[in-house]
Each structure stands twice: as structure tokens, then as C-alpha cells.
Amino acid sequence: MSAAPATPVRAPVRAPVRTLVCSVTGAAVVALDGTVLTLAQPALQRDLHAGVAEVQWTGTGYLVAVASLLVLAGRLGDRHGHHRVFALGALGFAAASAGIALAPGIGAVILLRVLQGVCGALLQPATLGMLRTAYPPDRLTGPIALRTGAIGLAAAAGPLLGGALVSAHGWRAVFLLGVPPTLAVGLLALTVREPRRTEPARARAGGDPLGALLLAGALGLLVHGLVTLPHPGAGGRAAVALAASATAALALVRHERRATDPLLPPALLRSRPVAAGLAALLAASAALSGTLFVTTYFLQETQRLDPLDAGVRFLPLAVLMVLGAAFCPPLQRRLGPRGAALAGGALLTSGVLVLARLDGGAGAVATGTGAALLGAGFVTLMVTATAAIVRHAPEAHAGVAGGLQQTAMNTGPALGVATAAALLALVPGGGFVPAHGAALPALALLAALTLPASLALPAAGGDRAGGRRGGTRQPGAARRSRRPFCVRS
């Protein structure tokens, strides 16, 4: 290990501000892109004379590309600089978005959506990796909460903004929406000087190409299988994809144990807070997405509400997502990561249980109450678990940690929707009515899995990554005296 320089390498004064702008904007644009696309798909299908399966691949191709490459992209950021990788992803995302808006046919749209997914995979882990290198561990919760609030705001505004754009200017305007912000933050990221790296160049070269290939195959096949599973008559193809994913995962485990420079660093995987945070995010995102899937069908198919009215009933979820992010840092200071995550898990589980009691005559108050609990619980878990993952990851592996966090957030929804769709099919006559079906009770059990995961998080919020194992808070002055604010490799 190289000796540390006599004088710590400090980040430029304005670098954290520019880094925060890039991180928040990049994460929000990706979230906005996902919500507005759903509303653009019917118009895209009509305009390009495409089939349903082709239109579905505009979403599936993107998801598979993102899920396959997130961890590898994070590793690239660790080796070559998170700002550089973010800039490449953001500028590529802008170019792909503009290309989709000009695409002459559905084939070009699918191809460019896959490219957009590759670029999204590059920028998403870097939004967390940049924060880890720009802020000391005890100041990470605030920037992460701001990033989460921006994601919630983008997700809430997406359906309204997307509907207005499609109605006024057509589906192509939806893809042009993300071009200016991603272009701007991509160029802004290039103005931030990367921290000086002290390890030799040979330590950053090479990598684990076979591990990257196996991981990409395992994750891509897993997401493809989960996305395909709910489609009628696709059970055989989904089973083959899931079996192939399991095979690739087993091969990856064997390879990583023998690799001299593994893609997934053992020090990161052995970190209890990192593993617990990933488990909590996977369970929470699966429960949330599955619950929204079931309840949306209930509101539109059983209660016959139009999409706008159904969206209004879920407005409390979006409001609590945005407002709740601001309360997460003081909540963590008061309760510690473990207490805050337990509170979030309890709220999320309660929200699913409230919605599980909806029957055919349920009104807006019952739906809104469940939605509010979902939003408050999910945002608390997301901020707390993400902060634990990023904070306790060694700085040299911040990108891989960000890639794993984004992988959990992308895999969880596919798992939740697949679970909900399978359980809905078990009760053909009443499955869409939550009180008569098995889907939401099962998803409540899935949400409850966040509670044991939360117990593995630190009891107090004052510990540093790589520091104490206990839960006793250290005085802030003592921490600062031992570790000045600097950016190290």
C-alpha cells in the first residue's frame, strides 16, 4: 500500500457542489425517463406500426442492458475516475435519446434503447461513487437524501409531464426531454478534477473480464426471465432464462474465488452493513413495485378509474417520497441507521397491509393512506440503506458498491412484478381485488424481510467505513482530528 502524502489532497472548494449537481440531475433524469416512457409506448406503437412484443422490447432491452452492466460500470469508475465515467454515460445517454427521437422505425428504437441502457449503466453507479469521493462518510446522508428526493420528484412528475408532452407534441418529445440536462451535466462533470490517485497504474489496469462477462450474463438473464415470466405462454422461455442465470451465477462464484483481481472485492462483500443494505433495498423495491402493479390493475380494471384518477389516488406516495427524504438525515442522527431502517420497514409493511384490505368499494382515503405509508417507508429505507452501502464501502470500491446498489434497485422491481403476476393468476376470479387475492399478503411478507436486514445495520450513525464494528458513537471532534477532510484513492 502506498504511503499517504504529507499533506492531504483536498478537493477543490466548488467540486462537491458540482459533483452534487451532476449526481442529483443524472439520477433524476434516469428516473424521469423510466416513468414517461410507459405513457409514450401506445403512441410509439401506432406511429411506427409496431407489434406489442416489439414495443415491449423497448423497455426490456433497456432493463437487461442496465442490469447486466451496472457493477462493471462501477468498477470502471473505481479504476478510471467516477466523473469521467459519469460524463461518458451522460453524454452517451443524451446522444441515444436524441437518436431515438429521430428514429425511422421500431428496430432503430430498440437498438438505441439498448445503447441508452448501456449509457445509463455507466452513469448510475457513478452518481453514488462521485458522492463517496467528494464528501466525508459522516456527511454523506444529506447528499444521498437530496438525490433520493430528486428521484421521487422525477418519478412523480413523469406521468404528468409525459402525458402532456405526448398529447401536445407526440412520443418523440418524451425522448428529447432528457437531452439538455444530461448533456449539461456530462460537460459539467468534465470540469471537476479527479482526486489524485496514489496507486501505481498497473494496479488500475487489467481487471476481471471473465468475471464481468459472467456477472453480466447472470444479471441480464435474471432480469430477462423475471420480465418475461408474467407474459402468457412465456413460462418455458422464462424458466430457461432463469436456469441459465443460475448457472452463470454459480460459475461466477467459482471464478471469483480463484481470481487474483476479482470483479467483486471480498472486502466489500464481507461488509455486514453493505450486505444488509443491499438485502433491504432488494426486498423494499420488490414489495413496492409489486404492490403498485396489483393496486393499479385494481383501480383501473375493477373500480374502472381512468389513469389520471388512479394516479391521483397514489399522489400521497409521491408527496411522501419527496418530503420524507428531507427528514431522513435528522431521523438517522436521532435513531441511527438501524432504527431509521426499522421504522422505514415497518411503515412499508404497514402500507402493503393497508392496501391488502381494499375491496371493491374501497375509497380514496383507504388507498391514499396505504400509498402514504408506502412512500414514507420506502424513502426512509432507500436513503438509510443507500447511505450505509456507500458509507461503509472502501473508497477504492465505491463504484462497485454503487453498481450493486443500483442492481438491487433494478432487479427488485422485476422480482416484485413477477411475483405479483404469478400470484394474481392463482385467483382468476378475484385476484385483482386485493382483499380476495394472495398477491398483496405475500408482498407484505416480502416487505417484512426488510426488518431482519435492518437489524444488521449499525445501531449508531457516527461510525466510519472501515472503522469500528460496534455501535458506540465517537465524538465528532475526535473523528475529524484523526481523519481530515480529504480525498484519497
Per the document, the length of the chain is: 489
> Which of 2-16, 108-122, 177-191, 337-351 has the lowest average pLDDT?
2-16
Q: Is the pLDDT of residue 162 over 80?
A: no
Q: Of 144-153, 265-274, 342-351, which one has max mean pLDDT?
A: 342-351
What does the angle CA 402 – CA 406 – CA 409 come to, to the nearest 5 degrees?
A: 145
Stronger pLDDT, 58 or 476, i.e. the higher one: 58
| pTM for this entry | 0.78
Residues 6+ apart with CB under 8 A from 92: 115, 116, 118, 119, 122
Quickly count: other Cβ atoms within 10 Å of residue 271's Cβ.
Answer: 22
> Which of 122-136, 141-155, 188-202, 224-238 has the lowest average pLDDT?
188-202
Q: What is the pLDDT of residue 4?
A: 44
Q: Sorting pLDDT into bands at 50, 70 and 90, what band is 429?
A: low
Backbone angles phi, psi at 207, to 5 degrees: 115, -160
Portion of the chain with pLDDT greater than 90, in percent: 32
- Tell me how far apart the alpha carbons of residues 180 and 174 are, in angstroms, rounded to a whole number: 12
- Tell me how far apart the alpha carbons of residues 396 and 82 are, in angstroms, rounded to a whole number: 11
Place of cell 453514488: 128
SS3 content of the chain, % helix, strand, coil (to 5): 75, 0, 25
- Tell me how far apart the alpha carbons of residues 340 and 325 are, in angstroms, rounded to a whole number: 12
Stronger pLDDT, 441 or 468, i.e. the higher one: 441
121, 391 Cβ separation under 8 angstroms: no
Model pLDDT for residues 61-100, shown as the tens digit of each residue: 888 888 888 888 888 888 888 999 999 999 999 999 999 9
Q: Sorting pLDDT into bands at 50, 70 and 90, what band is 484?
A: very low
Quickly count: other Cβ atoms within 10 Å of residue 41's Cβ.
Answer: 18
What count of Cα atoms within 13 Å lies in the side-chain half-sphere of residue 106?
20
